[in-house]
Structure formats: C-alpha cells, structure tokens
Amino acid sequence: MCTTSTAAPSAGDGSRGVEPTAFDSGFDKSPQLLPSASARTDSQAVGPSESFDVSNECGSGGCQHSVGDYLVHCHIAHHYVAGMWMIWRVYNTLQNGLASQDSLPPLQELPDRRNGVAPAVTSLDLVGTTVDWKGQTFQIEQDNLTAWVERQLPPSGMPIGYDAAVLDWKEEEGLYLNEPESHQVWPYYRAIDPGGRPALHFNPATGKLAYPFLRPHLGRRPPFAPNHGPAPFLEPFRQGTDPPRPGENGPWSLCPSGTNAKEFVVHAINLPIVFNQRTNLVDPVGQLFVLKEEEDQIRSKNDLKSPLAIRANAGEDCIDVVLKSELEDTGENDFFSKVNIHIHFVQFDVQGSDGVNTGFNYETSVRPFTSEGEKLAADATAGGITLQLADTQRFQEGTLVGVGMDQTDSFEIRRIQAIEGNTLVFQEPLKFAHLRNEIVSTEFVRYRWYPDVQFGTAYFHDHVSGLTSWRHGLYGALVSEPPGSTYHDPHSGAEVRSGPLVDIRTESVVSADITGSFREMVLFTQDDNPRTNVGQSSGSSFNLRVEPLASRGGDSSLLFSSQDHGDPSTPLLEAYLGDPLVVRGLVAATNDVHTLHLDGHWFRVEPFSSTSPPVSTVHIGISERYDLSIPRAGGPQEMAGDYLYYSGRSFKLREGSWGILRVYDGDADEPLQRLPGHESVPLSATSVCPAGAPRKEFSVFAVEVPLPMLGGALGKIYVLERDKEGILSGSQSPEPMVLHVNVGDCVAIRLTNETAAGPVSFHAGMLAADPMESQGVAAGMNPPQAVGPGETRTYTYFAHPEVGETTALVRDWGNVLENPGLGLYGAIIVGPEGASYTHPETGADMSSRAGWRVDVHPPLEESYRDFTLLIQDEDEVIGTHIMPYTEQVEGVVGLNYRSEPLLDRLASVGEPAKLFLTGVHGDPATPVMEAMAGDPVKVHVLVPYSEQAHVFGVEGHRWPVEPLRGGSDLVSALQIGGSAAITLVLDGGAGGRAEIPGDYLYGDHREPYREAGLWGLFRVYPTDAGAVALLPLDGN
C-alpha cells in the first residue's frame, strides 16, 4: 500500500486535484471556493490493482504559477526513504539544449502551446526591456538593473562552515555570474566547466531568474532564499527586512491585494509528552511545533501538548510563518538536528516555502538557533543600530539575522550593514530593547501560505527526519475555514490562535450538509510509536494521547465506561444536541493505513456531494485527510449521550486509539458555549422509532460452534432462533447472520446469550439507536448494555430515511477485543422502502430470515441480486516496515467464515495456471455468487475485524464510486479497512455491460491475502442456460 503525495502548487505540497477537474485553467488566484463534487486532494492512498489519475488543478506550477522543483513521493515514510520519490521540475524558460538551465534532456513545448516559452537570456539582455507579471509591467533600464537582479538573489559572499546566509555570485559590468562550478564528479553529474562561473540567466518576458540557477555542489548546504523567504520567485519586491505586503508584487503576488496578513512564529521544541497519565506512558523526548507566544504555557501544562492546529479563512487570509528550532542535537538525529515545515494544499512559492530541500530550491530548513547562534555580550537599546556579541565570526555583511531568537514579544529581524570587531551594525534601528544573553542567529526561515480555497485540513510536518520526528509528534495542520469565520474556545468563548478543539463561528457554507457555525475537532492519527504498541503492531495515538484497553481491566463489556474507569485521555469532543460537527481526521504518521469510525452519526466521504452515500467509517492513508461533516450532534436519532469514535483497526483500538463524543441536551448544565444559530438546545427524542413505523422483530442467539476459518475450533456467532438447531447440530453450515430490512423499518433484536462464558452485546452501525439503551456498548457515562450468559435483552433500531439504503455492520461489544475475531459479527442490509426479499433458488420469503444472498424486489424499481461478504484478518505485521518482510499472512483470515488457501491447491496440482479452475479443484469453500447475465447486482462488503487494508475487486466488472451521481467515476477495485462497509452496484449488472457469462474471480487484490484464501467466484450464467437453480428476477 502507498499514499502518493504531489508537491506542486494547488493545495499545499503545491499541487492538488478536484472534480470536475480544472487541470488546464492556468493561473488563477481565485479558484472555485467550494468544489461542486469531490473534495480537493493532494495525497491519495493507492493499493494493489487500484489506479488513480491525478489531474492537477490549474496545471503545472499550480494555480499560483510557481516555478521550481516539486516533490512527488510515496508518503509511507519507509517507502519514501527507500527511494519511492521523484521530482516534478517546472521551468520558466525554453529547455532546448542550447538554452537549457540543467543537464536533463531537452523538453519540447506542447503542440498547442508552441512559442509560449522563450530561451533564457543574461542580465545584459534585460536592459531596455519591458517585462510583464500577469498584467503588471515593469521597465528595466541600466539604472535599475542592479536593484532588479540583486533583489532576486541571496546576499553575495563565501559561505562560512555550514552557512546558508550567502551565495557566491559576482557582477562584472552588468553581467551577473553564478557561483563557481564544482570540481567534484559523482554519478550522473560532471560540471562542463569546473571552477568556471556560468552567467545567471533570466526569462526575457518576466525578468525573473531562469530556473534552475543554483548549481550542484555535493554535500554543500543550499542558501536561504533572499530575505530568508518567503516567496523569492513570486514576490521578490519587498520593503526592508519585512515580507512583501499582500499584492505588493502585482497580480502575480502569492497573496492577492486585500488579503489579511496573519503571522505565526513557530518553534520546534523538545519536551516530555504524557500520552496517558494513569499508565505512565511518556515520551521523554517529544517534539512539537508550537506558537512561540504559547510555548511557556504548553511546556507547563500537559493538556496543551498536542500537535499544532492553526486556522485561516479561505481566500481572505495570507499566512506568514517564521520557523525557528530549539530541537536538541541527539543520537537519534546523528547529533545534527535540522527541521522544516512542509505543508500540503495551500498556494505557495515552491522555491522558498515548500519546506523541503527539493532539487534546486532554496534551503527551507534550519538548525537550532541555540547551537548556531551567538549571545549578546551587553544590553541593547531600542532605536540603536548596534549589537555587542561575544563573537561575530559566523556572520557576514548584507545578511539577515534574528535578534532575540529566544524571545516572544521582542524578536525582530535586521540586516547587517557592517561588522566592526564584535559589533554588528544594522541598516535599520532596533525596534525593541534586548538584554544581555539573548540569542542572535541566521537560523530562521519564512514561509508564506495562501489558502485560496476551502480545502479543509492541510497537513504540515517536518520533512527532514520524518522517520524519527513524526513518532515524537512533529507535525500539525492548517485548517482553511469558510470566509468570515472566527475561532473560539468552546468553553470560554474567547478567540483563539490555535488548538485542536475549537468552535467555528461563521455564516458560510461548510459542506453539502452544514451551513453556519460548527464544533471542530482536528484529530491527528499517529502510528509507529513504540511507546504505545501492543504485540507487533507499530503503536498509535490520537493527538498524542492513548487510552490503552489493557489498563481498563475487569468486565470486558465495561472497558469504555467512564463510570468504571473515568474518561479516556484522548480528546473529548463536546457538543449540544443538534450542533453541527466537523471532525478533521488526518493521518500524520508514519507507516500504516487506518480507518476512523464514529458511532451513532453519519457523514459523507465526499462532504460537498449530496449524492455521496452516508457512512460512519472512512479509510485514511498516510498524509491523507478526511473532513467528517456531521450535520447534527446526536445523530438521526436526536438523542444525547456518549458516542465512541475509534480506529477501526483492532490492534489500534487495543492500543488506545479511541475517544468520546459527548452530546448534551437541553437539560444539561454544562459550561459549553452555545453556537450561533443553535442557542436553543432541544431535549432528547423520547423514542428512536416514530409511531406507525413498520416493525420487524428478530430473535437472535449468540452461540458457540466450530468454524472453518478457525480450523474447526469453537467460534462465536449470531444466529436466528429458527436456524439455531440446524447450526448447532451441524446440519446447517454456519455463516455470518445477514438480516434484510427496509428504509423506515423499526428493527427489534431480542438477543439471548447462550455462550459458555462472558458477556455479549449487539451493536449495529448506520441505524438510529438510543445510546443509553441500544448502542450495545457502555460508552462513557452511558449505562451497561451487555447480556450475560443465559440472559436476554432487546435492542431497538430505526432504519432512518435520513440515511436511506445502507449497509449496517453488526458486532459484539461485550468483548470487542476477542469475540469479533471469533466470528461474533454480522450485517443488517437496509433496502428500499417497501421492498420484499426472496431466496434466489427457492423463492421463499427472506424478510424475516437470515441469508448472505437474497433477491430484492423494490415496489417501484427493478429487482436485483444482493450479496453480502464479510472479511476478517488479524495480522498486524504484513505490509509494514518490520524487517525481514513477511510474505505470508499470519493468523486467521475469513470470508464469511471460510477461506480457500492457494497453497493447498498448488500442492495438489503444482500448476499455478490451474489454481482457480473448478474443473481441477472443485468450487472454492468461499461463497459462490450466482446470477444470470444482465441481472442487476449489488455486493455489500464489510470488514468486522481487521488489522489491514484490503483491496476488494470483482474481475471483469466495475461500479460507480457514487451510484446516485450521473457520470461518476467507475472503478474495479476499492480499498476497505476495519469497521468499514461498502456497497458495489455493478455497472451493467452480472457480466458487465456486455453481459458476458462465465466465472469471475472476486476477492482481495493484496496477493498475500488472496493466497491465504480471501477469494471466491462470481458465476454468471447465460440467459439461455438449462439446468440452473436460480429463479429469474422479476422482469428478467
């Protein structure tokens, strides 16, 4: 599995995609604020057999038309480090060989864009020209040539040691020459003129430096951008040592005129972080990005030690970041610490604000100023132009230094005019007084980010030492909020500058389901944390907090009870009944693929598409983010209570990656601010099912039976009363219990526990339920809801029309750590209102029976074949970075309690080409789906117990990503993970659009899992077939 990230301009890394695509729209400072269909992405999880077409918004160089080197790579850190990366180089002059600026082969212009790019020229050729910056023109003459060129270059000088403050360029009678070429030779590079100074070149149409202009020098640090950034290509004009004002460089400015400049001074720091106080889980060398103004408070209060989350309003704010480092040089970083901030999604100048030293871009990372700085030898007064230092040898004239690097309110940046002994003389007076022992250093960088659209959550992170820094917490997020938003503390109402839990007050559109103010939680998922791991799992956390289930021992049905164990250490999201919620889920590190689930509520995978089906679990890969837009706290049932959010991966749940959404109703007396527009808080509904709703009752038993996937050992399953005797006697094969109900039905499950020991319960996702009575889990302050051996309890659900047709995963939470792994799971499939269900062979009524395959007969639509498949696994290692790599799946795998291992078939025949032939081996033990060619088909796939991401496919068939959206993309393979459920509506039905009969493979496209037995057959009969047991569908 890999998550591919593109660092090109459009969303953060610099590039992003959106549907409908705008890949050829060109320069655009005001792209469509909200997408009309799919959310913008700049990172995409891709698994075996999947494909994904990246159409970058606005084209090469992004909407801002930034020239430079963009990084494209797999975001699984170990894959990236192992070499899965490349560069996307965006030029601004013709690369025809003669005028090329690098040693790569010539690059032709696109046929419809010929003569759009000119060859580069020297500085001498700029004199007397008029250049154009997206509509704003400038005249370059001899008298302004020096200023024109030198504002685009770092200060001239010879680097001293590991110095990034200068570049060794020279000027000879108006001709600007680059640094000398390297004498060194290494694979794929040899300088044409070692020691010679090539001329610097420029685009004659814009007067900007031709890219690339920095030269290869093995092992040498590149220079900081002019003025230490933030936008050397897009915004070279500036006043003094300050960043350019928004719009100061005309239409091509990174931030347009009229945007609001917001500055964040960010420090990277070391500090101990307590992941869980009760169990003394502590990272003694944690790492965080913090706002300097908040550093002291964060260091003193563990509750505040979480990844940095900052916010900006889309299309309104211009974000200026100053990054400094206090990180320590340790053995973990080879005693040479460096750090940067690499962000996704926003518009930026890639040469100076990408945060990654990619290709020939400028240096955008820093060493610790505590190591690479000098202390003041004497106090300095405000208004003065000199500083006394103990030593000035590391500094050079013309360079910028930060004065008071360790200060909060008095930090300032000044340019050195002269160095007189141990005295620095500045071009401008000091604004603040500075005390002896304050630190002066060149080790700072500036970034400028323009959140041009409402993209939601933009991941940022250290890109120097991700393998180590991410496991310590060195990442964060910038959230692009709706225009006009303000950000407030949920309890005090005070405006805030940062934090993962914030109230957003706005009148703008947020998603297809939310307009106006909402509660927000930024939820950072972490893995590869050895301090929290269980077994061979990599470890995990939410916002650098965990609540390990092993520490909450005792009754397994009360593991999540706050009455028994207190609230978890993970973030507590609080809301009043009816409040809109946005949970901004982000996988910040490092190696695994995750799922995020929220009980009792629904959201859309595509939050801006009203045809995106409601779900309660989303699949998230490394660096991906999904914004869970939840219309109302309390869900469709409109009931207060505690609802769990958690990782769908079994080991991550065990490690403590879970938390609580606490919903209060109008009777609650809680110090929580009311949201604008939601000042009146209703009481909880008195009943989950409305009066007059059709009622379906099922008598269900939890029993113990031998299961094939367990090698005949006893498992635990749900069975209907009418099937219990046959299954216990062995005359009827066990299979996961799949019930079928209709939209609008009230569903009553009367559960009796007939297992030998331990509690069981019944938890059904996507169905409305009273969290106090029928959630099936004692979450937070909710009462116990499990059933002991010999006991019976009734759970009541409503197939709410608000959710519509859906696939509800059923699992036990009496002992969620063990029982689902033994088979105690099932599904409730919600079909169309008024539909009837029949057995595909006998025609018997299945409305009150269980079956993984039924024929569905809606009253107003065509009938269809309906199949339900449930996949489970438990191998926490395969596919991870743990060496040596494993090739075979460990532990139990199951497909409807069965598997068909390929090694067994290979051993019996020895010919791989015949592994799947029924004529050689017979049909597999796994389900055989059957249909007539052309039959409409739906396939529901659920993952009730899992540690892995699977890629499910049906060979020879495809299905729309959004069945209700005309023109939706068609796919033939789809990732799915723990606790997730998907429904495939096969395009063209059985046999595809061509209605071709035959046997088609279905199953997991991750080859080790297919080898382990997670595959089966989809048998499509010709319409004129003779002896076929299937009954024809109505109208077919």
pLDDT digits (tens, 9 = 90+) for 232-276: 999 999 989 999 999 999 999 999 999 999 999 999 999 999 999
What pLDDT shows up at residue 671? 86
> Which domain-ending residue is among 861, 878, 893?
861
- Cα–chain center distance at 593: 10
Strand-pair category, 518-527 with 581-589: parallel
How does DSSP classify residue 690? P
Q: Residue 124 in contact with residue 175, Cβ under 8 Å?
A: yes
Q: Residue 299 in contact with residue 271, Cβ under 8 Å?
A: yes
How does DSSP classify residue 688? S
Which amino acid appears at position 582 of this protein? V
Pair of tokens at residue 302:
């563990």
Same domain, 843 and 877: no
Dihedral angle sign, alpha carbons of residues 660, 661, 663, 668? positive
Measured between alpha carbons, how far is 701 from 459 in angstroms, rounded to an integer?
A: 46
Same domain, 796 and 842: yes
What pLDDT shows up at residue 21? 64
Measured between alpha carbons, how far is 4 from 41 in angstroms, rounded to an integer?
A: 11
Containing structural domain, residue 420: 374-442
Within a domain: residue 295?
A: no
CB environment 90-108: b (16+ within 10 A), e (fewer) = bbbbbbeeeebbbeeeeee
Dihedral angle sign, alpha carbons of residues 332, 336, 341, 342? negative
Within a domain: residue 7?
A: no
| Length, in residues, of the chain | 1036
Which amino acid appears at position 191 of this protein? A
Same domain, 857 and 875: no
Within a domain: residue 248?
A: no
Within a domain: residue 311?
A: no
Dihedral angle sign, alpha carbons of residues 75, 80, 83, 86? positive
Q: Residue 898 in contact with residue 825, Cβ under 8 Å?
A: no
Q: Which residues pair with 320 in a beta bridge?
A: 263, 448
Same domain, 944 and 972: yes
What pLDDT shows up at residue 590? 85
Same domain, 390 and 514: no
Domain count for the chain, please give it. Answer: 5
Within a domain: residue 286?
A: no
Pair of tokens at residue 793:
């309890």
3-state secondary structure 102-144: CCCCCECCCHHHCCCCCCCEEHHHHCCEEEEECCEEEEECHHH
Nearest to 313 by CA among 507, 519, 23, 462: 507
Pair of tokens at residue 658:
């879970």
Nearest to 84 by CA among 39, 46, 110: 46
**Which residues are CB-contacts of 379 (< 8 A; sequence separation ≥ 6)?**
433, 434, 435, 436
- Cα–chain center distance at 88: 22
3-state secondary structure 843-891: CCECCCCCCCEEEEECCCCCCEEEEEEEEECCCCCCCCCCCCCCCCCCC
**Which residues are CB-contacts of 694 (< 8 A; sequence separation ≥ 6)?**
742, 744, 745, 746
Nearest to 587 by CA among 550, 554, 555, 620: 620
pLDDT in tens, 81-133: 889 999 999 999 999 999 999 999 999 999 998 999 999 999 999 999 999 99
Residue 612, classed as helix, strand or coil, is coil
Q: Residue 982 in contact with residue 974, Cβ under 8 Å?
A: yes
Same domain, 566 and 639: yes
**Average pLDDT, 10 consecutive residues per value, the chain (1036 residues):** 55 51 83 89 90 88 96 89 94 95 94 93 98 97 97 96 95 97 90 95 98 93 96 94 96 97 98 97 98 98 98 98 97 95 97 96 98 97 97 97 97 98 97 98 98 96 94 97 98 98 98 98 96 93 98 96 98 98 94 94 96 96 95 98 97 97 91 95 97 98 98 97 97 98 98 98 98 98 98 98 98 98 98 98 97 97 97 92 84 98 93 95 98 98 96 97 91 96 98 97 97 98 89 79
Same domain, 1019 and 938: yes
pTM summary value: 0.96
Residue 285, classed as helix, strand or coil, is strand
Q: How far apart, in Å, are the Cα atoms of 45 and each of 49, 454, 946? A: 12, 22, 18
**Which residues are CB-contacts of 935 (< 8 A; sequence separation ≥ 6)?**
864, 865, 989, 990, 1033, 1036
**Which residues are CB-contacts of 709 (< 8 A; sequence separation ≥ 6)?**
715, 823, 872, 892, 893, 894, 897, 898, 899
Measured between alpha carbons, how far is 378 from 423 in angstroms, rounded to an integer?
A: 10
Q: Residue 95 in contact with residue 206, Cβ under 8 Å?
A: no
Within a domain: residue 105?
A: no
CB environment 896-906: b (16+ within 10 A), e (fewer) = bbbbbbbeebe
Measured between alpha carbons, how far is 689 from 683 in angstroms, rounded to an integer?
A: 16
H/E element holding 652? helix 650-655
Measured between alpha carbons, how far is 592 from 573 in angstroms, rounded to an integer?
A: 25
Same domain, 904 and 984: yes
Measured between alpha carbons, how far is 168 from 178 in angstroms, rounded to an integer?
A: 7
> Which domain-ending residue is among 210, 227, 243?
210
Measured between alpha carbons, how far is 740 from 176 in angstroms, rounded to an integer?
A: 77
Helix ranges (DSSP H) in 881-926: 902-909, 918-921
Q: Which residues pair with 945 in a beta bridge?
A: 872
Pair of tokens at residue 802:
């608000």
Same domain, 650 and 511: yes
Measured between alpha carbons, how far is 895 from 873 in angstroms, rounded to an integer?
A: 9
Which amino acid appears at position 631 of this protein? P
Measured between alpha carbons, how far is 667 from 670 in angstroms, rounded to an integer?
A: 9
Residue 353, classed as helix, strand or coil, is helix
Q: How many CA atoms lie within 13 A of 37 on its CB side?
A: 14
Same domain, 945 and 817: no
> Which domain-ending residue is among 834, 861, 888?
861
What pLDDT shows up at residue 1? 63
Strand-pair category, 617-620 with 594-598: antiparallel
Strand-pair category, 68-74 with 2-6: antiparallel
Within a domain: residue 5?
A: no
Measured between alpha carbons, how far is 827 from 662 in angstroms, rounded to an integer?
A: 26
Instruction: Give the DSSP letter string of 15-39.
Output: --EEES--TT----SS--SS-SSEE
Q: Residue 371 in contact with residue 506, Cβ under 8 Å?
A: no
Pair of tokens at residue 1018:
């989809």
What pLDDT shows up at residue 13? 46
What pLDDT shows up at residue 9? 35
Measured between alpha carbons, how far is 832 from 827 in angstroms, rounded to an integer?
A: 16
Same domain, 805 and 757: yes
Nearest to 400 by CA among 427, 365, 360: 427
Q: What is the CATH number of the domain that holds 984?
A: 2.60.40.420
Same domain, 430 and 530: no
Q: Residue 287 in contact with residue 544, Cβ under 8 Å?
A: no
Instruction: Give the Cα-Cα-Cα angle 141, 145, 148 (nearest 5 degrees).
Output: 120
Other Cβ atoms within 10 Å of 334 Cβ, number: 9
Within a domain: residue 63?
A: no
Measured between alpha carbons, how far is 311 from 480 in angstroms, rounded to an integer?
A: 6
Contacts of 432-435 spanning 24+ positions with Cβ under 8 A: 432/382, 432/404, 433/379, 433/380, 433/381, 433/382, 434/376, 434/379, 434/380, 434/387, 434/403, 434/404, 434/407, 434/410, 435/376, 435/379
Strand-pair category, 475-481 with 308-313: parallel
- Cα–chain center distance at 959: 24
